[in-house]
Amino acid sequence: MKDHILCREDFMDFPIGEFPYDPDHTAMGEYQYVTEKGYRGRWLDQVCNYTWNGTGPTWLITGQDGRHAMECMRVEKNNPHRIFPTLETGTPFWKNYTVSVSLRRLSLGGMAGLVFCLNHSIDTLVFALEDRETAALRYRHKEDILLLGQAAFPQDPDDTYRLSVDCQDDLARCYVNGVLLIEARTPLAARGGKVGITADCPARFSDFEARTTAEEARAIAARAAAHKAREAAEQAKHPAMKLWKKIDLGNFGTSRQARFGHLLGDGNWQVVLAQMQRRVSRDAYGFISCLTAVDLDGKVLWQLGEPSDQAERLGRVSADMALQVYDIDGDGFDEVICGWDFEIRILDGRTGRVKRAAKTPVADQEDEGLIGAPYGVYAFARLNPDGIRICNLRGLPQPRDILIKDRYCRLWALDDELNTLWHDKSPTNTGHCPLPVDVDGDGKDELLAGYRLLDSDGTELWHYPIEKDHTDEIVAGRWKPDDPAGYFACVSGTQGFFIGDFYGNILKRDGIGHAQRVSVANYCPDRKGLEIAVTNFWGHQGGIFLYDCDGEPIWEMQNEMNGNIIAPVNWDGDGAELILTNADPDGGGLLNGAGLRAVSFPDDGHPVLCCECLDLCGDERDELIVWDYHSMYIYTQADNPKPQTYHPCKFPAYNASNYRGEYAFPDRGFLAFRADRSLLRPRDRAGRAKGQNND
């Protein structure tokens, strides 16, 4: 008999009011670990949508007749992402249970019910009452919904129904008011998983309960203990973290608007931190208000502008600031290249003094066709730059060209004298982080900007056959063994994750919701080639997906958190990279290729908002840098220093960005491409080479 209580919730511990949520519905959680304040109890909400800004919470705790209930308040559905508000509880180790809830449908315009056997919020079984007449059992997975069974069940908004699901091995039985309506055999029931409630219209949930047998409760505890033992055994294989540096950021702290470089030319690293202010609309026109350069002992080298005691306000930005640290003139000292008050400035990294400056381009093009501009117009007479990329468009011995852009539509290429080389206005979204890469081996960078490949002179060569949304991140590389061809791995919001070739063809695609981050590295040394890690955010956030070199799924999971960086970390120096999630000491850290937490952060009060990995000590292994608006901690390996033989090729620090696709290749040969120039033909929006017969 299933009389052992796994979970019983009457919501009486919750104060009447709102379940914690982000009222601004910002994109901060894409790259920063953010939790909203308030009591959550045992419940987790992984669903978010930027269109909900100002609309209030998804979930309300209400009270009637001395009893509490949890109410879903969302009406808007699937705009622009497929969204099913869900509150989840339990652990992945639960199985063979009965879960039940009392449900009153305050609207009959959508669905409301139970989730169970949940791996993550878009990998779950659902038993729900739908519309006015139906009960249905469905499997939600990524962008697909599979019907497993349904039954007629007329509903009344004034009635309360007791929904329950009994899972035993591979059999799921679905009941309403004790009457069996649907049963189905599926391996998804046998896998078990978390449980919870879901609705896409107003609905009231109360008296939630999950039960199992005493024997199964012992088995659940054993599975949890076995997992903990596997994790402990895995962590014993890797050096622990050791605190190396601790820096007080005073009143000049920021979020991920930090850049690392060699400002003093002495081989040591320094940090430049940018505070910003918003103009006009959210992050659309953010601009730098203060730059502070410090060394790794926290000594301030110089400061431009005025720092603010409102660091949390001025640092709370999800967009890139126009800022890079790079030796653009080849004098042996990194310069700071930045957008400042409608100028592009090249600053002496040692002093912050202006070495060269030029006004940003006049933004006098017609607003018609301008993508992504709030209110349909560009707000300023001159460009408010959204980001900076260092490129080699002229085929020089080292990159000395600068790419600037507006938010989503226009690009300008500048030389190191800040003269304009070319300008492009895109018919589709440029995305956040155009990737300069020499695809044909001629010494000049081409540029993948959103879905378009541009030649070094700005001419469009081809366009992937996608029109919607935008590309957040891109990785280029030769990650398939014995395959000389290069590929792009792209994450493009609602358009999912895809792998494309260098000729405009999409070879593999997976709809995982809003695809956000991507990295490529040797995460699974026992597999051929390199692996690709991907995360999602808007809609159903927090999923981590691992693919093999061909784009075939290996595993998917949810670590119940946002801010998953998924950068490859050379922690051991043995050629196998680990996956950085975030800096939380309980759930963050470094995952191995099997999804186990291999290295954890110490519980020492360190900041958890931002994290980064970079070889700062010089032994080729990565340090872990974590910071918030007030302090920065740097961790190295407990066995540092240690001689290394593995020297991975990683994304250059001089093109830092929130939106950079990360990689760790065994050597630079993985970035040496020889695409056939004759096949890099201009293509139309459907992906056909221009002049191609359409029959």
Q: Which of 429, 453, 448 is nearest to 683 (CA)?
A: 453
Q: What is the mean pLDDT of residues 178-199?
A: 98
Q: What is the pLDDT of residue 693?
A: 39
Per-residue pLDDT tens over the stretch 352-373:
999 999 999 998 777 788 998 9
Per-residue pLDDT tens over the stretch 428-441:
999 999 999 999 99
Percent of the chain with pLDDT over 70: 98
Q: What is the pLDDT of residue 315?
A: 65
Q: Per-residue pLDDT for 688 more than 80?
A: no
Q: Which of 105, 16, 8, 103 is nearest to 68 (CA)?
A: 16
Per-residue pLDDT tens over the stretch 40-77:
999 999 999 988 888 899 999 999 999 999 999 998 78
Q: Per-residue pLDDT for 682 more than 80?
A: no
Q: What is the pLDDT of residue 365?
A: 73
DSSP-derived 3-state class of residue 51: helix
Q: Which of 76, 196, 43 is nearest to 127 (CA)?
A: 196
* Helix (DSSP H) and strand (DSSP E) numbers for the chain: 3, 52
Q: Per-residue pLDDT for 91 more than 90?
A: yes
181 to 14, 108, 256, 345, 612: CA distances (angstroms): 33, 19, 51, 68, 51
Per-residue pLDDT tens over the stretch 636-645:
999 999 888 8
User: For residues 651 and 570, is the Cβ–Cβ distance under 8 A?
Assistant: no
Q: Per-residue pLDDT for 218 more than 60?
A: yes
Q: What is the pLDDT of residue 695?
A: 35
Q: What is the mean pLDDT of residues 107-122?
A: 96
**In the structure, what pLDDT confidence band is assigned to residue 343 with cuts at 50, 70 and 90?**
very high
In angstroms, rounded to a whole number, what is the distance separating the alpha carbons of residues 116 and 25?
27
Q: Per-residue pLDDT for 692 more than 90?
A: no
Q: What is the pLDDT of residue 694?
A: 36
Q: What is the pLDDT of residue 314?
A: 65
- Of the ranges 114-128, 302-316, 580-594, which one carries the lowest mean pLDDT score? 302-316
Q: What is the mean pLDDT of residues 140-156?
A: 97
**In the structure, what pLDDT confidence band is assigned to residue 241 with cuts at 50, 70 and 90?**
very high
**In the structure, what pLDDT confidence band is assigned to residue 669 with cuts at 50, 70 and 90?**
very high
How many other CB atoms sit within 10 Å of the CB of residue 493? 22
DSSP-derived 3-state class of residue 2: coil
Please report how many Cα atoms fall inside a 13 Å half-sphere around the Cα of residue 477, on the Cβ side: 30
In angstroms, rounded to a whole number, what is the distance separating the alpha carbons of residues 158 and 171?
32
pTM of the predicted protein model: 0.96
How many other CB atoms sit within 10 Å of the CB of residue 169? 11
| Residue with more model confidence, 474 or 694 | 474
| Residue with more model confidence, 695 or 347 | 347
Per-residue pLDDT tens over the stretch 150-170:
999 999 999 999 999 999 999
- Of the ranges 358-372, 415-429, 518-532, 655-669, which one carries the lowest mean pLDDT score? 358-372
Q: What is the mean pLDDT of residues 292-303?
A: 98
Q: What angle do CA 145, 151, 157 make, to 5 degrees?
A: 90
Query: What is the SS3 assignment for 175-204?
Result: EECCEEEEEEECHHHHHCCEEEEEECCCEE
Q: What is the pLDDT of residue 23?
A: 87
**In the structure, what pLDDT confidence band is assigned to residue 691 with cuts at 50, 70 and 90?**
very low
User: For residues 272 and 291, is the Cβ–Cβ distance under 8 A?
Assistant: yes
